[in-house]
Amino acid sequence: MKDKAIRKKVKEKGGKTAQPSPRSQVALGNEESPLEAAPAPKRTKGAGMREKWRKIRAALLPNPADAATPPRRSANPLFDLPEEQRAKLFTWLRECPFDDAVRQMLRDQGIADATPLQLNDFFQHEAEQHWEKRIGRAAQEANALVQLVEKSPVRFSAGILAALGQEAFRQIASGQVEPDAMGKLATLFLKARSDERADQMQELKREKLRRELQDQIDHALEKLAEEVDRHPVAREAFEALRKELATSMEAAL
């Protein structure tokens, strides 16, 4: 109410006789009253936060996520463990649903004692790390496989390459296939393609053989016809045989 009265008074007298607020006296050394200064929009904490993140997205400010992650060891001693013991603990947590059992195993190994909350925190952090590593590797390996196939002399459509990359990604991400196996998959993929081409070649060869056989049969029949001409009685039977042979050859082709 008092503020309102002051503001009203300032408005009426053009702000010249306004009483400075106690806060302005402390903060600004009794300088010009904020009410006398040029009006500026009030900046809320939320607006400031939004502005900060807008600048971070525009790369005008460094992203706090890019900065070195503060060590979690102060909060959770499990993150202080050596790499080998961390891997062992992660395996235990993944395979054993009972925190008490895991804590007992930790004590047995003389590693450290931890609260269930610390175990959960450790597991979640490690699981996320493992996930990001595996997926990142899967995407890289799939890209590498697609590039390898692209470099091969055989041309593939973009759709086939995308399907190949997707399948490679799915296989590696599922954890069922080691990345090295992808090289073998690429080799098999290319071999399957070359086998397909070999099959086509074989088919062409078979077709050629059939034509040669047909020509030989025709030739033999011509010769036989010449012989039959010398025996007119057998000519009718020969023509029937020739017709039957031609029909069966057409059916075979």
- Between residues 117 and 204, which has the closer beta carbon with respect to another protein? 117
Smallest separation, CB 24 to another protein (Å): 20
Amino acid at 241: L
Smallest separation, CB 135 to another protein (Å): 4
- Integer Cα distance of 65 and 67 in angstroms: 5
Smallest separation, CB 193 to another protein (Å): 20
Residue 99 three-state SS: helix
DSSP state of 176: S
- Integer Cα distance of 246 and 253 in angstroms: 11
- Between residues 48 and 71, which has the closer beta carbon with respect to another protein? 48
Smallest separation, CB 153 to another protein (Å): 26
- Between residues 49 and 198, which has the closer beta carbon with respect to another protein? 49
- What are the CA-CA distances from residue 178 to residues 129, 152, 192 (Å)? 18, 23, 21
Residues counted in the chain: 253
- Between residues 81 and 146, which has the closer beta carbon with respect to another protein? 146
Smallest separation, CB 142 to another protein (Å): 6
Answer yes or no: are the C-beta atoms of 228 and 238 closer than 8 Å: yes
Q: How many CB atoms lie within 10 A of CB 81?
A: 18
Residues lying near another protein in the complex (CB under 8 A): 44-47, 49-50, 53, 56-57, 63, 65, 120, 123-124, 127-128, 131-132, 135-136, 138-139, 142-143, 165-166, 169-170, 173-174
- Between residues 38 and 59, which has the closer beta carbon with respect to another protein? 59
